[in-house]
A and B are shown apart, each in its own frame.
Chain A
Amino acid sequence: GENVEQHPSTLSVQEGDSAVIKCTYSDSASNYFPWYKQELGKRPQLIIDIRSNVGEKKDQRIAVTLNKTAKHFSLHITETQPEDSAVYFCAGSDSNYQLIWGAGTKLIIKP
């Protein structure tokens, strides 16, 4: 079955700098890759997603890239702000349409 690995587990960046979180997946049949942001005690909120027929997608300060050959995808946040501090999860949809989640990255934005 699908396995999703996520790195780093914690990422600390200066406010205004960029943050990059990387994920790899194992199932070449996976075709949907969402990113969720979870603030402490809250529900996961979808921030961006990408489908396997697209290599890159951007929404304002957030972008996701997908390399199907290498089976990895990344989240890029530019001009980070304090409200970007949260735990970010990547996920991959396996051949049974289950969302398999990464372990999460705690993003800390330093003022």
Chain B
Amino acid sequence: EPEVTQTPSHQVTQMGQEVILRCVPISNHLYFYWYRQILGQKVEFLVSFYNNEISEKSEIFDDQFSVERPDGSNFTLKIRSTKLEDSAMYFCASALRQDTDTQYFGPGTRLTVL
């Protein structure tokens, strides 16, 4: 069964540095998402992406965040200048359709900002 994959599994960075989190969605899926989960808390929506542009974004997704689909397979989340509070697990998800369709999650990238 196809799965969403994410790299790296763990990223440690210094505050103020830029990080890029990578995701490979399921190949025939059209909708892509990033979520964040701070340790012990609920999963929070960051952004959805379709047809090479952002569909929706939450209040968390401010100017330090950006997403990109640089080629036909990868979907990336860039955090320009990391802050301590960006430390969290970041999950990528993909879905075949947007409305009422199952979102499949990747294994996550644990980001630690020192």
Contacts and interface: CB of A to CB of B under 8 A. Distances in A.
Given A34-B102, A97-B99, A98-B56, A43 B108 contact: yes
Interface size class of A (residues with CB under 8 A): 20 to 34
Interface string B15-41: 000000000000000000101000001
B44 interface: yes
Interface residues of B, number: 23
Nearest to B101: A32
B84 interface: no
A102 B58 contact: no
Task: Report whether over half of chain A's contact residues are helix, strand or loop; otherwise say mixed.
Answer: strand
Contacts of A44: 43, 91, 105
Interface in B84-114: 91, 98-108
A15 B33 CA distance: 36
Q: Which A-B residue pairs are the 6 nearest by beta carbons?
A: A32-B100, A43-B105, A101-B43, A101-B42, A103-B42, A97-B98
